[in-house]
Amino acid sequence: MACKFTTLSLLLLSFSLAGSQLLRSDPDPGSTDCTGRWVHIRKLPSRFNLDLLANCSDYPVYDNFCPYLTNHGLGQKTHNRSHSWYRTDPFMLELLFHRRILEYPCLTSNPSGADAIYLPYFAGIDALRFLYGVDVNSSAEHGLQLLEFLQHDSPHIWGRNGGHDHFLVMARPAWDFSQPLSNDPPIWGTSFLELPEFFNVTALTLESRAWPWQEHAIPYPTSFHPHNLALLESWFDRVRRSQRTTLMVFAGGGGVSSAPNIRHSIRAECQNSTTRSNPSFKACEIVDCSNGVCEHDPIRYMKPMLQSRFCLQPPGETPSRRSTFDGILAGCIPVFFEEQSAKSQFGWHLPEEQYGEFSVFIPKEEVVLKGLRILDVLMAIPRADVRRMREKVIEMMPRIMYRRHGSSLGLRSKKDAFDLAVEGSIHRIKSRLTT
Ligand X SMILES: *[C@@H]1O[C@H](CO)[C@@H](O)[C@H](O)[C@H]1NC(C)=O
Interface residue list for ligand X (CB under 6 A): 47, 51-52, 55, 58, 80, 134, 136-137, 162-164, 185, 196-197, 200, 268-269, 272, 373
Question: For residues 392 and 427, which CB has a smaller minimum distance to ligand X in the complex?
Answer: 427
Contact 87, 223 (CB under 8 A): yes
CA 256 to chain centre: 27
Question: For residues 267 and 414, which CB has a smaller minimum distance to ligand X in the complex?
Answer: 267
Question: For residues 57 and 344, which CB has a smaller minimum distance to ligand X in the complex?
Answer: 57
Question: For residues 15 and 236, which CB has a smaller minimum distance to ligand X in the complex?
Answer: 15
**Which residues, 6 or more positions from 68, have their beta carbon under 8 angstroms from its beta carbon?**
75, 87, 88, 89, 91, 92, 296
List the helix and strand counts (H, then E) for the chain: 16, 10
Quote the CA–CA distance of 433 and 435 in Å, as a whole number.
6
Question: For residues 300 and 373, which CB has a smaller minimum distance to ligand X in the complex?
Answer: 373
Considering the complex, what minimum distance in angstroms separates the CB of residue 55 from ligand X?
A: 4
185 upstream amide cis, omega within 30 of 0: yes
Considering the complex, what minimum distance in angstroms separates the CB of residue 49 from ligand X?
A: 10
Partner residues linked to 361 by β-bridges = 336
Considering the complex, what minimum distance in angstroms separates the CB of residue 264 from ligand X?
A: 9
Considering the complex, what minimum distance in angstroms separates the CB of residue 42 from ligand X?
A: 16
Query: 254 phi and psi, to 5 degrees?
Result: 80, 180
Question: For residues 55 and 318, which CB has a smaller minimum distance to ligand X in the complex?
Answer: 55
Quote the CA–CA distance of 244 and 305 in Å, as a whole number.
9
> What count of Cα atoms within 13 Å lies in the side-chain half-sphere of residue 181?
11
Question: For residues 183 and 200, which CB has a smaller minimum distance to ligand X in the complex?
Answer: 200
Contact 182, 155 (CB under 8 A): no
Query: 264 phi and psi, to 5 degrees?
Result: -65, -40
Question: From start to end of 289-425, where are the E strands?
Answer: 308-313, 333-336, 360-361
Considering the complex, what minimum distance in angstroms separates the CB of residue 139 from ligand X?
A: 10
Question: For residues 261 and 408, which CB has a smaller minimum distance to ligand X in the complex?
Answer: 261
Considering the complex, what minimum distance in angstroms separates the CB of residue 78 from ligand X?
A: 11
Considering the complex, what minimum distance in angstroms separates the CB of residue 39 from ligand X?
A: 20
The H or E element containing residue 51 is helix 50-53
29-60 CB burial, b ≥16 within 10 A, e <16: eeeeebeebbbbbbebeeebbbebbeebeebe
> What count of Cα atoms within 13 Å lies in the side-chain half-sphere of residue 234?
8
Question: For residues 16 and 55, which CB has a smaller minimum distance to ligand X in the complex?
Answer: 55
Considering the complex, what minimum distance in angstroms separates the CB of residue 44 from ligand X?
A: 13
Indicate the SS3 state at residue 299: helix
Considering the complex, what minimum distance in angstroms separates the CB of residue 411 from ligand X?
A: 25
User: 113 burial class (0-12, 13-18, 19+ CB within 10 angstroms)?
Assistant: exposed
**Relative orientation angle of helices 229-241 and 383-400, to the nearest 10 degrees:** 160
Question: For residues 57 and 109, which CB has a smaller minimum distance to ligand X in the complex?
Answer: 57
Considering the complex, what minimum distance in angstroms separates the CB of residue 48 from ligand X?
A: 9
Considering the complex, what minimum distance in angstroms separates the CB of residue 273 from ligand X?
A: 8
Question: For residues 367 and 411, which CB has a smaller minimum distance to ligand X in the complex?
Answer: 367
Q: Residue ranges of the alpha helices (H) in 162-296?
A: 229-241, 262-274
Residue nearest to ligand X (CB): 162
